[in-house]
């Protein structure tokens, strides 16, 4: 146990996870009965031993990497499903790539993404009020409004990134400065995302941001604890844990509620008098109010409701994007000098920035194909989730796989092993290698010859494109709707960094840590930066 704790040091999730695992283990041994299909093989379970399922579960705490590799080789790659003994929640049925389409095409009342998210994130306790998650109007706002308003959001995010870089990395052109990478990325992503969500001045209010970040971390920790506790303890422990979330929310609401009230007043005046001299900002708050009016949902115009909906959206946006860009920067800085990754990116960014006269638009950002590839490749090789597209079985009679014929019971989870697909040599040659321009090479070649070839490559190889082979944003109708924003946000972040700072490469890539079934980059890594002369 000590060895595991050592290995998991630095993680805010690890220690509570280990403690609650002990309770879970007792719970599993004493009370829980497995109703998973008996005709499905398990990975990591040796049935000749006592407590074989329990042993497999414990194994997955420190051996998820090996178990997934074995499961892929023995079953997934042969078109078969198997049971993965997840250590931080119910065991999962992982289907092969050939069943992904079936998995994604099931209606929500058969295989539910929302119910999986709700259960695995402790939705009844973590998001302030069950109502907010049961009727996820904030997801609806993101689906309806974010992508169509990207053009307006781009200059705002660029401005916020520039200010944030200067605040945290400084403007010293003489001396190198050591900066904590993950913290820097968290602040950049937090401010840039909140410029899109709440606008100025709240997006850069230190108390607001600090509490929003703490809230998103609360959700990660609390949901890890709840996932391993038996359900009957949730009403008590869940409520206790949620006190911290409520506290952090109240520190954000202190700023958001007056801000939203003011927005509502301006918007109402503008509706009544179009000549009123006020420009409507394009941000989440405005989108939610406009959608609430259009759909006649007065509750969604209530400042308290809006301020609360900002919490799950921040949760969806902050950690995912922070870990993604932290990994991308590490991968780029650790790439061998002979590959010319930094130079290749700088060249592309400088030329494109000059050609668009320093004004980023959707069109000019689309020209950053190497940058796009460098991030997408990092999302492939340094993915932080290992399984994805997880769904909860809804019908009381369970759900039957159409080819393999097993039946998964109500309440069980079905998903796919994304990590092994991303590391399959038949799909990605030299899969363990970070080949920054893997996806842009073909695009650059096609753009030289232009025509149909370019269109084809453009569609398949860009960062926001999901497929059965690239699953970081998942795939199908529930694929992350924030991804189109993320593409621009992260390209601009790298562009600002490389246009304005010299950054020292890393001599070797620091290893990411496997924590159960997740893989996290080092949180204590610092890099050396200097403002360009
Ligand atoms: C690099 C950053 C991000 C990654 C890797 C990511 C990944 C994901 C994944 C894997 C899902 C689950 C899809 C499924 O269950 O099939 C998801 C869902 C979602 N994401 Fe993201 N996400 C990111 C950033 C964002 C941002 C910035 C936003 C909002 C501004 C956002 C909003 C959402 C929403 C609303 C859903 C729920 C979609 C649904 O259930 O239909 N995400 N994301």
Alpha-carbon distance of 413 to 230, in angstroms, equals: 16
Length of the chain: 533
CATH architecture of the domain 130-385+429-468+472-531 equals Orthogonal Bundle (1.10)
* Mean per-residue pLDDT over the chain, rounded: 92
Eight-class DSSP state of 479: S
Quickly count: other Cβ atoms within 10 Å of residue 263's Cβ: 22
Alpha-carbon distance of 329 to 510, in angstroms, equals: 12
* Per-residue pLDDT tens digits for 474-504: 999 999 999 999 999 999 999 999 999 999 9
Q: Which ligand 1 atom sits closest to the C-alpha of 325?
A: 1
- Among 26-35, 149-158, 272-281, 460-469, whose mean pLDDT is lowest? 26-35
Task: Tell whether the model's pLDDT for residue 459 goes beyond 70.
Answer: no
Record the tokens describing residue 99, joined without a space.
């069943």
Quickly count: other Cβ atoms within 10 Å of residue 251's Cβ: 15
Average pLDDT for 92-115: 97
pLDDT band at 35 (very low <50, low <70, confident <90, very high): confident
Record the tokens describing residue 460, joined without a space.
């398949």
Residue 407, classed as helix, strand or coil, is strand
Q: Are 95 and 121 in contact (CB under 8 A)?
A: no
Task: Tell whether the model's pLDDT for residue 18 goes beyond 60.
Answer: no
The residue whose CA is least distant from atom 28 of ligand 1 is 482
Residue 112, classed as helix, strand or coil, is strand
pLDDT band at 4 (very low <50, low <70, confident <90, very high): very low
* Per-residue pLDDT tens digits for 36-67: 999 999 999 988 888 988 899 999 999 999 99
Q: Which ligand 1 atom sits closest to the C-alpha of 388?
A: 10
User: Complex ipTM, two decimals?
Assistant: 0.99
Of residues 71 and 31, more confidently modeled: 71
Average pLDDT for 165-190: 97
Record the tokens describing residue 474, joined without a space.
């998942």
Eight-class DSSP state of 145: I
β-pairing verdict for 177-180 and 111-112: unpaired
Alpha-carbon distance of 315 to 414, in angstroms, equals: 23
3-state helix, strand, coil split of the chain in percent (to 5) is 60, 10, 30
β-pairing verdict for 518-520 and 513-515: antiparallel
Alpha-carbon distance of 224 to 226, in angstroms, equals: 6
pLDDT at residue 25 in the model: 55
pLDDT band at 17 (very low <50, low <70, confident <90, very high): low
Residue 145 CA to ligand 1 center (angstroms) comes to 15
Q: Are 44 and 86 in contact (CB under 8 A)?
A: no
Record the tokens describing residue 307, joined without a space.
């301020």
Quote the percentage of the chain above a pLDDT of 90. Answer: 83
Q: Which ligand 1 atom sits closest to the C-alpha of 476?
A: 16
Q: Which ligand 1 atom sits closest to the C-alpha of 485?
A: 27
Quickly count: other Cβ atoms within 10 Å of residue 140's Cβ: 16
pLDDT at residue 450 in the model: 60
Domain with CATH 1.10.630.10 in the chain: 130-385+429-468+472-531
Question: Dihedral through CA 459, CA 460, CA 465, CA 469, nearest 10?
Answer: 170
DSSP string spanning 328-383? HHHHHHHS-GGG-HHHHHHHHHHHHHHHTTT---HHHHHT-HHHHHHHHHHHHHT-
Task: Tell whether the model's pLDDT for residue 28 goes beyond 60.
Answer: no
Average pLDDT for 443-455: 68
Q: Which of 117, 316, 387 most suits a substitution to test ligand 1, by most atoms within 8 Å of the C-beta?
A: 316
Residue 477 CA to ligand 1 center (angstroms) comes to 12
pLDDT at residue 134 in the model: 86
Q: Are 523 and 355 in contact (CB under 8 A)?
A: no
Record the tokens describing residue 187, joined without a space.
């602040």
Residue 306 CA to ligand 1 center (angstroms) comes to 19
Alpha-carbon distance of 62 to 225, in angstroms, equals: 18
Q: Is 203 annotated as a binding residue?
A: no
**Which residues does ligand 1 sit against, CB inside 6 Å?**
113-114, 139, 142, 313, 316-317, 320-321, 324, 388-389, 472-474, 478-482, 485-486
Of residues 335 and 46, more confidently modeled: 335
pLDDT at residue 5 in the model: 35
The residue whose CA is least distant from atom 20 of ligand 1 is 480
Kindly list the distances between the CA atom of residue 200 and the CA atoms of 89, 147, 302, 306, in Å, as whole numbers in the listed order. 39, 20, 20, 16
Q: CB-based burial of residue 460 (10 Å sphere; 0-12 exposed, 13-18 middle, 19+ buried)?
A: middle
Q: Which of 139, 196, 320 most suits a substitution to test ligand 1, by most atoms within 8 Å of the C-beta?
A: 320
pLDDT at residue 427 in the model: 97
Alpha-carbon distance of 292 to 508, in angstroms, equals: 51
């Amino acid at each position: 146990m000590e060895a595991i704790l050592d290995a998991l040091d630095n993680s805010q999730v690890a220690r509570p996870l280990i403690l609650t695992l002990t309770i879970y283990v007792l719970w599993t041994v004493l009370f829980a009965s497995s109703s998973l299909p008996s005709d499905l093989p398990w990975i990591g379970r040796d049935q000749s031993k006592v407590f074989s399922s329990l042993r497999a579960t414990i194994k997955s705490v420190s051996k998820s990497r090996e178990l997934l590799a074995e499961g892929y080789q023995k079953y997934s790659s042969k078109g078969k499903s198997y049971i993965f003994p997840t250590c931080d929640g119910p065991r999962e049925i992982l289907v092969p790539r050939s069943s992904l389409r079936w998995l994604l095409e099931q209606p929500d009342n058969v295989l539910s993404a929302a119910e999986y998210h709700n259960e695995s994130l402790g939705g009844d306790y973590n998001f302030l009020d069950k109502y907010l998650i049961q009727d996820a109007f904030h997801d609806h706002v993101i689906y309806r409004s974010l992508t169509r308003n990207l053009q307006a959001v781009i200059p705002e995010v660029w401005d916020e990134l520039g200010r944030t870089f200067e605040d945290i990395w400084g403007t010293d052109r003489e001396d190198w400065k050591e900066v904590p990478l993950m913290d820097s990325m968290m602040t950049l992503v937090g401010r840039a995302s909140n410029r899109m969500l709440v606008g100025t001045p709240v997006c850069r209010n230190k108390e607001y941001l600090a509490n929003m970040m703490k809230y998103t971390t609360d959700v990660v920790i609390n949901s890890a604890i709840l996932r391993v506790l038996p359900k009957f303890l949730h009403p008590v422990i869940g409520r206790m844990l949620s006190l911290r979330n409520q506290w952090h929310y109240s520190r954000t609401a202190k700023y958001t509620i007056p801000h939203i009230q003011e927005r509502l007043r301006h918007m109402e005046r503008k509706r009544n008098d179009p000549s009123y001299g006020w420009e409507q900002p394009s941000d989440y708050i405005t989108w939610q109010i406009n959608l609430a009016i259009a759909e006649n949902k007065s509750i969604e115009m209530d400042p308290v409701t809006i301020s609360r909906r900002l919490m799950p959206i921040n949760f969806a946006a902050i950690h995912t994007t922070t870990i993604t860009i932290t990994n991308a920067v590490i991968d780029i800085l650790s790439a061998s000098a002979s590959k010319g990754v930094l130079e290749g990116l700088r060249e592309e960014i400088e030329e494109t920035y000059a050609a668009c006269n320093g004004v980023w638009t959707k069109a000019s950002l689309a020209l950053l194909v190497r940058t796009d590839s460098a991030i997408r490749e990092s999302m492939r090789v340094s993915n932080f989730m290992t399984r994805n597209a997880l769904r909860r079985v809804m019908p009381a009679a369970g759900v039957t796989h159409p080819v393999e014929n097993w039946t998964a019971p109500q309440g069980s989870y079905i998903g796919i092993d994304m990590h092994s697909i991303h590391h399959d040599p038949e799909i990605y040659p030299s899969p363990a290698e970070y080949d920054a321009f893997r996806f842009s090479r073909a695009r650059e070649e096609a753009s030289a010859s232009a025509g149909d070839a370019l269109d084809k490559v453009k569609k398949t190889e860009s960062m926001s494109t999901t497929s059965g082979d690239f699953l970081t944003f998942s795939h199908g109708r529930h694929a992350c709707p924030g991804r189109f924003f993320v593409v621009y946000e992260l390209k601009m972040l790298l562009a600002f960094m490389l246009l304005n700072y010299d950054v020292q490469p890393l001599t070797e890539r620091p290893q990411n840590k496997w924590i159960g079934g997740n893989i996290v980059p080092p949180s204590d890594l610092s890099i050396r930066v200097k403002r360009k002369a």
